[in-house]
Amino acid sequence: SGECVVASPTEYISEEYLDWIWQNRTGPNAKPKQDVNWNVMASKNFLMDKFVHNKGSINYCVRWDSTTTLEKGVASQFQSILERHYNKWNKWLEGYNCWPFKKLKVNMVGWAAKDKSQFEWTDDTLGPFYEGSVDSDGVPQCPDECYRYYDNVNNIWSDTSACQGEPFDVSFWLNDKIPYGFGYDWGQEVSLNDTLSNLYDENIMFIGHEIGHGFGLPDFYGLETKPSKDFPNSIMMAYSSTTITPSDGWMLRRILDHVRSRYKF
């Protein structure tokens, strides 16, 4: 099998910039700041960990945070949209440092709403409905007993044996009250209106960007967050690019380089 292939960039972004990002933004020496710097070494619940644990797939709960209804034709697009954006990221991992997955798979395993009549179909061909289960803010969610995550305190994956259906790893949370998005290891919260108006676009910026957060990549807004003012365009510096660039790809590879020892491949 030989050695795992690792490399340094020859264009677009420098190794020096990647080192700065690790030291100042994503690694264990970065000064912790809420939503600014994330130590990817402190958690084994990022998206990379989930894909390895699940052998290349990830299970989704859709959280319908809206008073409107959802058509089946629109809902049936979500799986392919998410899978497409994951695989745009995965192009940078495939074959790098022995990453074993040529294609990442997305499964939709639950649909949560305050009232299931908000879903304009009644069969379970897209997955089961969850009605009335809400979080502390009153937002619909799939059941807690179905949430599969890595418990960093007890160093064990959560017990989902009480889940009636398939466990979910992350949520696709569609919120009609925000014009932007959020992302982390729990999934992506995105603007419902933005998502629906860009539903058939090849690249939906907020979705690609929020998935990046789930891999442990931070935002790059403001000079103090970047190694230099000429930091190259990237989807993690949203609005500078609507697509995943080599800058994003190399930052993702560096995360794999640092967490690689967790994995047995």
Tell me, rounded to whole angstroms, the distance of Cα 228 from its chain centroid.
Answer: 26
Four-way CATH pick for 15-262: 3.30.1760, 3.90.1690, 2.30.40, 3.40.390: 3.40.390
Per the DSSP assignment, residues forming a β-bridge with 108 are: 60
pLDDT of residue 31: 86
pLDDT in tens, 155-196: 999 999 999 999 999 999 999 999 999 999 999 999 999 999
What global pTM score does this model have? 0.97
* Pair 157, 53: CB distance under 8 Å: yes
Per-residue pLDDT of 9-28, as tens digits, reads: 999 999 999 999 999 999 99
Average pLDDT over every residue of 43-52: 98
Kind and range of the H or E run holding 111 = strand 105-113
SS3 state of residue 223: helix
Average pLDDT over residues 109-127: 97
Bridge partners, residue 190, by sequence: 174, 181
Structure tokens at 103: 């294609």
The number of residues in the chain equals 265
Q: Where are the alpha helices (DSSP H) in the chain?
A: 15-21, 47-53, 72-75, 78-90, 192-197, 205-214, 246-259
Asked if 256 contacts 93 with a C-beta cutoff of 8 angstroms, the reply is yes
Percent of the chain residues topping a pLDDT of 90: 95
Is the four-CA dihedral 7, 11, 16, 22 of positive or negative sign?
negative
Cβ neighbours of residue 113 closer than 8 Å, sequence gap 6 or more: 64, 70, 119, 129, 130, 131, 140
pLDDT for the residue 2: 66
| Whether the predicted pLDDT of 35 surpasses 80 | no
- What confidence tier does 36 reach under pLDDT thresholds 50, 70, 90? confident
- Name the maximum alpha-carbon separation found in the chain: 55
